[in-house]
Amino acid sequence: MEVMLIGFFVVWMQFMILGKAVHPGCECLVYSTTHGKEMGTFTSPDFPKQYAQNIDCVLYTFIGRPNEIIQIVFLDFDIPKRSNDCIRGDYLKLFLHLNGGEVNEYTPWETVLCGSLVDIPTILYSSGPGLVLEFHSGNERSNSTGFSGTFRFMDRRLFKTGGQKVSGTTCDYQFSSTDSSSSSYGNFYSPKYPSSYPKNIKCSYLFRARNRERIQLVFEEISLQKGDISCLNRADIIRIYDGISPGDAAIKFLCNEGAEVEIFSTGSNLFVEFVANSDWPGHGFKARYQFLPIEDNFIDLDRFDHARPKLGPSVSETRSSCDLSFTSDLTKNGTISSPHYPDSYPPRTTCRYEFEGRGKERIRIQFIDFQLYSPQSYVGENCNNQDSVFAFVHVEGRTDKIDGFCGNFFPKPIMSNGPRLLLELQSVFGGQNTRGFKAIYTFTENYGITHGSQIPDYPCAFVYTCNESKSGYFHSPNYPGLYPRDTECHYFFYGNENELVQLKFDYFDVEGVQPCNSSSASDYIEFSNYMRIDSKYKRRCGQQSPFLINSERKFFRVTFRSNDRLDGHGFNASYVFLDKSEVNTIIVPNHTSSAEIKHVYYISNIILIIFFCKFK
């Protein structure tokens, strides 16, 4: 042990060694910009060989200048996990919120790390000029190699929130385009970003534009918690409202992780609320804002170029006079068509139709005529290299093609995942006695969901009450077309006392595989008798035959959530409110061997038992 530590400290002899820290047994390595080293590396004892047992504690202390923070990047990490909280056995404890390099047994720490590289946040930041890592190993033998990483001292002024801090508050800010101290654009961050934000905080960011101006926000990074839990059940969440307070209509809720989420206000005010109540804070968010005049449509027709399917060598890449742009400031709906419709469209032509919405608006395209030329000799996939119409959206900072149409195939409706959508007609051969296409565009706030009562408390939420109707229908956004990506919708059912709700899913195509979570990159449907998660019901995803779901209370929730990956056509379902005496449900454990009784339905004193038999 002693020989190992001596060898380790020789490697880092350029740094000071301190004796007193958490307790007298600690040894301390100090990395400081005052020593002329702006960046470097650090490792556990004897890395990449296995470290010794019973290392009482080794402190890695990083001390920057008053205007600096420290970035830590783990390149390798291998510390066995002896307990769920990592506090027993071997572990690495992190002190991220320090003004200097001194810690003791009373200094609060932020988190403890153990496991492998995939189990930990690989990039960490201090919130001030001090950061300390505390390494321990227990008496259990292992072949673990420990860790290695890099450190860098950074200027904390790179992460300064613009606008004016509200007096007497911890983290409330106001941004105004009429304020001479404010710019027409800037940045804003979660508290202590890029370090982890504090626990149990609430911050607000109020944006006020001038008359005939709009506010554009782009959340460049969102790092709250890992996973795919609905924003309805997240303790840490960002809420964006189309006005000056949470009482106004909700535009978007952000939780978990993400990037490049774009928001436009419908009026001259926008309100952002950040609430953090979890035990394990993430990095938070970084975002930029800009005040834009309404006259500036802010449509950049070149931003999609890198993602467009390539045309054949004989097709001209020259921009066409048929490019059109539409914003909801000017009109909420209208029609678009191919050039010269209903006559033949010209060959070797590219037409682009760009749409930009406001607030929670999504763009929906419904084709009412579609006939493009397709040569009989054509052999290919995805409509490339022939006359086609393609649809593009922005997802996580990239441009994705969500669908393509060609020939006489009549397209289903298209919906954007946010405020932007691009349609592109690529004519290779020309119309040759074909009509082209005609479509209706709509800037809609209801996600194409026409049943139920939409409520403004959530970006996408609909209520179904027995007083309004004892039975009816509900479906996924944009059904029967592909549902939009990065979308979360809630369906709330409210019955009277002694009533339950029964749901019948007649069509179900939600992209994913069991267990329908982030590990399988799945979209999903979630059921609950409460607002919170209900363990009685498993998530549903994939393609499934028609099935029934019964509530156990007068309230029932259905949540649909899609990620940024693939698409499906969603679901179409019906509901009916029934008295408890009419419907009862029995769930039999899955280990039933010869047969599983999934449900027993009691309807008007007639008993119908459904068996799903398993033959060995």
Number of H helices, E strands in the chain: 1, 43
* b/e map 320-339, b = 16+ CB within 10 Å: eebeebbbbbeeeeeebbbb
CB 22 within 8 A of CB 57: yes
pLDDT surpassing 60 at residue 297: no
pLDDT of residue 36: 64
pLDDT of residue 38: 85
* Digit-coded pLDDT (tens) for 57-72: 899 999 999 999 999 9
Q: Where are the domains of the chain?
A: 2-157, 160-293, 305-444, 453-585
pLDDT surpassing 50 at residue 79: yes
Mean pLDDT is lowest, of 88-97, 293-302, 605-614, for: 605-614
CB 188 within 8 A of CB 287: yes
Residue 407 to residue 434: CA distance in whole angstroms: 10
pLDDT of residue 52: 92
pLDDT of residue 23: 57
Torsion of CA 69, 75, 76, 80, to 10 degrees: 40
pLDDT of residue 167: 94
Cα angle 483, 489, 493; round to 5 = 125
pLDDT of residue 612: 38
pLDDT surpassing 60 at residue 594: no
pLDDT surpassing 50 at residue 367: yes
Architecture (CATH level 2) of domain 305-444: Sandwich (2.60)
Mean pLDDT is lowest, of 32-46, 119-133, 232-246, 477-491, for: 32-46
Reported as a pLDDT band with limits 50, 70 and 90, residue 305 is very low
Topology (CATH level 3) of domain 160-293: Jelly Rolls (2.60.120)
* Digit-coded pLDDT (tens) for 545-581: 999 999 999 999 999 999 988 889 999 999 999 998 8
Architecture (CATH level 2) of domain 453-585: Sandwich (2.60)
CATH classification (class only), 2-157 = mainly beta
pLDDT of residue 399: 86
Average pLDDT, integer, range 194-211: 94
Residue 165 to residue 438: CA distance in whole angstroms: 51
Higher pLDDT, residue 337 or 318: 337
Q: Half-sphere exposure of 323 toward its Cβ, with a 13 Å CA cutoff?
A: 11
pLDDT of residue 18: 39
Cα angle 222, 225, 227; round to 5 = 105
C-alpha distances in Å from residue 265, one per residue of 98, 162, 296, 380: 38, 19, 14, 42
Average pLDDT, integer, range 351-380: 89
- Decide whether 2-157 matches 453-585 in CATH topology: yes
pLDDT surpassing 60 at residue 180: no
At residue 307, the 3 state secondary structure works out as helix
Strand 269-276 to strand 398-406: parallel, antiparallel, or no bridges (unpaired)?
Answer: unpaired
pLDDT surpassing 50 at residue 8: no
* Digit-coded pLDDT (tens) for 415-444: 999 999 999 999 988 877 889 999 999 999
Residue 136 to residue 134: CA distance in whole angstroms: 7
